[in-house]
Structure formats: C-alpha cells, structure tokens
Structure 1
Amino acid sequence: MITRDIDAFFAFARDVAPDFGPATARAAFLVAPDGFRLAEQSARDNVYMAGESAFDAQRASMQHRELQRAISSVIPTVCFAGDPDTPDAVFPNNVFGTAAGRTIIGRMRHEVRQREAARKDIRGFFGGVLDYAEIDLSQQPHACELTGALVVDRARGLGYCGLSERCDEVGARLMHEAFGLRASLLFDLAPGEYHTNVVLAVLAGRAAVVCPRGFADPEIAASIAAFHAPHAVVCDEAEHAAFVGNCIALSGDTAWMSAKADAALSPAHRARLAAAGFRVESVALDAIEAGGGSLRCCIGEVY
C-alpha cells in the first residue's frame, strides 16, 4: 500500500505485527566532513543551513570523530573519507540506504549531491564486501533522497514519506518498492522543510518523535503521534529548531541526538522516552549542524 489516505494507512498499520525485520540497524557508516563548507546549491532549499562564516571544518572534523567513537560503543561503525568536492557528503543517509541484502542508491536533487552517488568505494563496500544487491535509483529523473525524505518503521515495514523538492510522488513510490515496505504514507512537508527526518523519527518501532510544524497538514502529525501513544514526543518550537526530531535509535534502549537537541528536550519528553525504554545519548555537533542537518543525518544504517 502506498497512499495519502491517513485513515486507510493507519487502519492497515494497526493490524501490522512488528515482525518485518530488525527494529534497529546492525551497523552504521559515516562519511567524514573533509573540506566541510557551505554547499550553495543545498542552501537554496535548506533553511536550517547557516551562513558561510559559521562553518568550521576543523571543529566539524573533531566532532564527527567523536560521533563515530560514541556510537561505536553501541554498534560497529565505519567511516569513509570525505571529499572537498562533495561538502554535503557528511549526510550519507540521503544517498545510500540498505534493506535486507540490498543497497539502495538515491537520486539527489542538487548536482553537488548527485556526485556522491558515483562513489566507487561506498558502492564497492556494499556490493563487494557485504555482497549486497544494488538498486540504483540515481540515474532516473525523480528526486528520492532516501531516509532523509523517508522515515521507516523497520519493525513494521511502514514508511512515512514527506514530499518536497527533495522527493516527489514517483520518487516516493520508487523508494517504497526498493525498501520493500508493506505500506507508505505520503504527505506534504510544510513550506521551508526539506527532509522528513528533521521533523519525524520512529525509534525502534516503539516510540515516535514528531514536530507538527514540519507538516503541511497538522492532522498527519497528530495521527502519527496517536498511533505511537503513549510513547509519542510532540515537539514544541524550541525542540523542533534544536533538531530533537533528528534523532535515531541505534539499539533497543538508546535514542541518540545532538547535544543541542539534548539540551532542548523537555523533562516531560525525556521521561516519555524513558517510559518507552530509551535513555538519551548525545554528542556535540554544532559545527556539523551549520550544514543544515544533525546527528541522524550523519548516520547511514546497515540492515
């Protein structure tokens, strides 16, 4: 099922067992912020991106290394070298995604990001080392920026796909098929939002973090929160702006977010995550966040 009908989607979702596959990834991969700087093309439709003077490549590199060290305590984590010609490559989950036994390569909107999809080392790692089959969407014309645009409930095989300039309806269908999902809900992001994973996270199938202002139709956000009640965190404006929605579960008991997001998370919402079985772990990523994304954007998942 792939639909815009929220009633039909959740009627289906309520009967879906959490038996689609592992709820969290078995490993993670990163791309180092080598030559990290303002990507002018990406800045056209990413309101979270800071001005050029805010970029500090050395600090970004140090924070990124600490991110790898931190999450390596939970799951195996590899890091590929960056490339100054691809300054957004620090956010690899938009370009490379995985499902059981296969790699999906997305179609990026901006040419500066399309270069990332051609990387032979990352393709070779998945195809040659892990022996994953490759589904290459990068050469077709429809934007589909993978798990930036598509938030996946891996336990149930459900997708939440926000449409914007970074993903159209055809691209959404291509991703739905490539990830082999049971059902996907399509909806429009609010004007100015570029990726769903900035305003929505599903944590190990047990909890959801929702930023209502990021949805064009607030009923969509409310329905997602209701589906995950009582383990739904509905972010306020400050939490939204601090990237609380850009979090990820890397194990059944950890929810990771940036230090900025951690500081903005209200005590009540922290308690709600704890009630769902998650402790919050965080890493300082303010230098990376100048690029318009946060912790979840940095993490590619290996399923």
Structure 2
Amino acid sequence: MKTRVSSAGTVPLEPVEFPVCARAAFLVTPEGFALAEQSATDNTYMDVTRSVDAERALAQHRALHRALAQHLPTICFAGDPATPDAVFPNNVFATAQGRLILGHMRHPVRQAEAQRRDIRGFFTGVLGYAEIDLRDQPGICELTGSMVIDRGRGIGYCGLSERCDPAGAAAMAEAFGLRRLVTFELAPGEYHANVVMSVLASRALVLCPQGFSDPAQGEAIAAAYGEAAILLDAQEKNAFAGNCIALTADTVFISEQGADSLRPATRGALQKNGFALHAVALDEIEKAGGSLRCCVAEIF
C-alpha cells in the first residue's frame, strides 16, 4: 500500500477498517532506574538534578503491569541498568500485523535497546513476526513516540523534532503500512508527538494545540474528528494528560498526575465519548520525561 502524504486537516478521515486496539502489550521493567543524561539534552520534561528512587519506580511499574493485565494480555521483559530509558520500549519497538519494527533512535543509550535478543526473538521466533529494521536507513524515527497512529484508519500523525525527521517519518509510514501520513513540526521544547496527542481507539482524539509549532495545524487535525476531539490545555499536557492510551475500546489508561490535571470539561468529554479513566501512579517514572503511554509497547 502506497502511503499518501497530506497536510493536517486537509483530507477527510478514512473509514475505520482495521483493528483499533492492540491485542496484547508488553513492558520493560525499570531495573536500576536512573535518568539518562543523553536523553535530557532534548527532553525538557526531564530534570537530571532530581533524585530518583529505583525501588519506588519498580513498585509503580509493577502496579502498571497489574492494571493493564486486568484488561488485556500483558507481558513484561526484564530491564537492564545499562539502558536506563528502556522503561519506554514503545520508542524502540513497535508492531503492525505480523511485523516487528525497530526504530532508529537518536541517542546511543537508546540505540542499545534494539540489540536485545530476547524481545526480538520473542516476536520473530515465538510469534513468527517478520522484522523490519529501520536503524540503517538515514532517518531518525522513534516509532510510536514520534508518531501517533489512528490504527483503525491507517493514519500516522508524526511530530517532527530532533527525535524524528522527514526521512524517518516516511520510513515509519512504509513499515507500518499506513494509508496516510500527516507530518507537523512540534513546538520548541516538545520531543515526541505522543506527549501532545493521542488517538483513542480510532473513536476520539485528545490533543494540545500548544504542543505544535503552528497551533493551527493541531486545531485542523482536531477539526477532522469533530465532536470526538478533546482539546487539552498546556497545564494538562505538561502533566502528561496527552500521554494516555486506549488499550481497550472503552478504557483510557493515564498516569495519576495526568488524571489529576484534567479539567471537568475534559473528563466530561472523555465520558461522553464512552471512555472510563483508569489512573496509575507513575510520578517516579515520570521524572525520566515520559509517562504511561511511553511505557506501553502495543502488540498488533
């Protein structure tokens, strides 16, 4: 399938024809949890001067695993203290039907994660997935951190930053087999699109226009979803409310900090669109500059 490239909001939404939610998920434990200084160079949500509690991070991560496992099969791979950002595997590993995709990470500390034989072997040897390795192509592409995918419609919304360039966006669109690719520049200080927006089961959209270099582009994407678009303000976005995920058709998983930041109107809009909120405390892990959605790698 050849991917069409379009500007934000210029093309009507395609009909939903593909599975909208993952059939399973996987996590990587925060063993030896620490803040990676390389990642902090372009992640303004991090503050490397803050101390972290590795045991508390592990406890919160176990609680996340238990919460997800109540709703869909969720497996967890052991972490490695040598790769402290490995708690966010969705940047490095992603799936489409029958395919495991390896991202081209910007920082060497993240590049090391893709060398793991256990995760790759699980998908290729146990599940029989084909491996698509994007590490050797020239574009930087941090998978479902940089690209928010409307899975049911096959649309990828890709935020360009130091973590993803146009060549990387095009490579991801081909690897995922997307119908359409929409690219936009993220606002200064934003590193991943999945911090500023999320498509929920191809039925609703949460989005913060201030996370876009041109807020009008964010508003145009939201307009395509009509009444199913839920606009976040900057305070909600900064609390990781946009880093939420619908792993089932009626439940949105969000961090406790993100849930606490939601205005009544935002909560009401989620409920109106048929979603119950499931909040998990992740404030220790959020010190590393990512939140709940970043911890979850979806299995399609």
TM-score, length basis structure 2:
0.97
CA distance in 2, matches of 1:40, 1:97: 24
Which of structure 1's runs of 4+ aligned residues deviate more than 3 A? none
Moved more, 281-290 or 51-60: 51-60
8 Å CA contact retained: 1:253, 1:278: yes
* Match of residue 250 from structure 1: 247
Is 1:2–1:173's contact at 8 Å kept on the other side of the alignment?
no
Q: Give the Cα separation in 2 of the matches to 1:52 and 1:233.
A: 34
CA contact 2:9–2:223 (8 Å) conserved in 1 = no
Match of 1:6 among 8, 14, 30: 8
Q: Which residue of 2 aligns with 1:89?
A: 86
**Residue 16 of structure 2: aligned partner:** 18
Distance in structure 2 (CA, Å) of the matches to 1:262 and 1:275: 16
Deviations 1:67-87 (A, max 9, x none): 000010000000000001100
Within a 5 Å distance, the mapping from 1:148-227 to structure 2 comes to 148-227=145-224
Task: Find the aligned partners of 1:224 and 1:255 in 2 and give their Cα distance.
Answer: 20
What SS class does the counterpart of residue 122 from structure 1 fall into?
helix
* Corresponding residue for residue 147 of structure 1: 144
Whether the aligned pair in 1 keeps the contact of 2:8 and 2:221 (CA below 8 Å) is no
1:96-153 residue CA offsets vs partner (Å, 9 max, x unmatched): 0000011100000000000001000000010011110110112233210000000000
After TM superposition, the structure 1 = structure 2 runs for residues 33-44 of structure 1, keeping only pairs within 5 Å, are: 33-44=30-41
TM alignment of 1:12-161, pairs within 5 A = 13=13, 16-19=14-17, 21-161=18-158
- 1:50 offset after TM fit, Å? 2.5
Deviation at 1:4, TM superposition (A): 5.0
For 1:294, the equivalent position in structure 2 comes to 291
In 1, the alpha carbon distance for the partners of 2:105 and 2:94 equals 13
Number of residue equivalences: 298
Could you tell me whether the CA contact under 8 Å between 2:203 and 2:228 is conserved in 1? yes
> Residues 155-183 of structure 1: CA distance to partner in whole angstroms, max 9, x if unpaired?
10001000001000000000000000000
Q: Which residue of 2 aligns with 1:237?
A: 234
Summarize the Cα distance change of 1:275–1:50 in structure 2 as closer, same or farther, 3 Å threshold. Answer: same
Pick aligned residue for 2:225 from 203, 224, 228: 228
Check the 8 A contact 2:5/2:181 in 1, yes or no. yes
Specify every segment of 5 or more residues in structure 1 that has no aligned partner in the other structure, as ranges. Answer: none
* Aligned-partner residue type, residue 3 of structure 1: V
- Give deviations 1:35-83, integer Å, cap 9, x for gaps: 1101000000000012343311111000000000001000000000000
Which residues in structure 2 correspond to 1:251-290 (within 5 Å)? Answer: 251-290=248-287
CA distance in 2, matches of 1:41, 1:7: 35
CA distance in 2, matches of 1:251, 1:224: 23
- Is 2:254–2:293's contact at 8 Å kept on the other side of the alignment? yes
Please provide the CA RMSD for this pair. 1.0
**Structure 2 CA distance for aligned equivalents of residues 113 and 153 of structure 1:** 25
1:239-284 Cα distance to aligned partner (Å, 9 max, x none): 0111000000010000110000010111111111111110011100
Q: Which amino acid aligns with 1:164?
A: S
- Describe the SS at the equivalent of 2:84: coil
Aligned partners of 2:248 and 2:127: how far apart in 1? 21
Unmatched tracts of structure 2, length 5 or more: none
The amino acid across from 2:259 in the alignment is: D
Identity between Structure 1 and Structure 2 (%): 58
For residues 49 and 209 of structure 2, what CA distance do their matches in structure 1 show?
29
Letter in 1 for 2:7: D
CA contact (8 A) 2:9 2:217 kept: no
In structure 2, give the amino acid aligned to 1:193. E
- SS in structure 2 of the partner of residue 34 of structure 1: coil
1:7 to partner: Cα distance: 5.0
Contact kept, 8 Å, 1:157 with 1:181, in 2: the verdict is yes
Q: Give 1:61's aligned amino acid.
A: L
